[in-house]
Amino acid sequence: MARTGNNHKGANSDGGFGTICNGAELARIIGVSRPTITKFTKAGMPIYDEKGARNSPRYDSAACIRWWKDRELQKARGSGDADELDIDEIRRRTELAKMKKEEISLAVEEERYGDVEAILEELGHALATIRASLIALPKCAAQLEHQESGFIEKRLEEEVYRMLEELADFTIEDDDGSE
C-alpha cells in the first residue's frame, strides 16, 4: 500500500486530500482491477503526473475517487450523452428496441389485446344487470314483511348470492367465435 511522505512516491497531493499512488495501488484502493484503471484513465480519470516507474502515470487517490463517484452518479441519473455510450451499449439498446417492437406487432396480430370497446360494452351490460338486481332488492324485502326473521335473512342472503354469481359468471364473449 502506498505510504505518505514528501520524498516518497506516495506523497500527499497538493491539496493534501489523497494518496499519490500507481495504477495497481489505486486499483486496490477503489476495489477494481488494474485493467479497469487503464480503462478509466482512457475515459478521462485524472492523472497526478507521469513520474512513476518507466514514466507510468501516478494518481491522486482522492481526485480519482471523486471522478469515479461523479461518473457513477451521472450514469445513475441517466444524464450521459449518446456520444459517451460505447458502441456495444448502443447496439444492445437498438436490438432491445427492435425486439420490443416485434413483440408488440406479434401481439397485435395474434389479437392478444382485446377490443376495448367490446369489453366496455359487455362490462356495461353486466353492471346494468347487477344494478337492476340491487334496485329490486328492497321490493323483495317488502314481500317478506310478515315473515320470521330467519326466513327473511335466508331469502335476502340467497338473493345477494344470486347477484354475486351473476357477477362472477361475467365473461367477455368473442363475436367472431375465435379465442
Q: Characterise 34 by phi-psi region: left (phi > 0), alpha (psi -120 to 50), beta (else).
A: alpha
What b/e string do you get for 26-51 counting C-beta neighbours within 10 Å, with b at 16 or more?
Answer: bbebeeeeeeebeebbeeebebbeee
Q: What percent of the chain is predicted at pLDDT more than 70?
A: 79
* Burial bucket for residue 139 (CB in 10 Å: 0-12, 13-18, 19+): exposed
* Band of residue 66 on the pLDDT scale cut at 50, 70, 90: very high
Span 3-7, average pLDDT = 43
* pLDDT above 60 (res 23): yes
Over residues 69-109, the pLDDT tens digits come to: 988 888 877 755 545 567 777 888 888 888 988 888 887 77
* pLDDT above 90 (res 64): yes
Span 130-154, average pLDDT = 84
Encoded amino acid at 98, one letter: K
pTM: 0.37
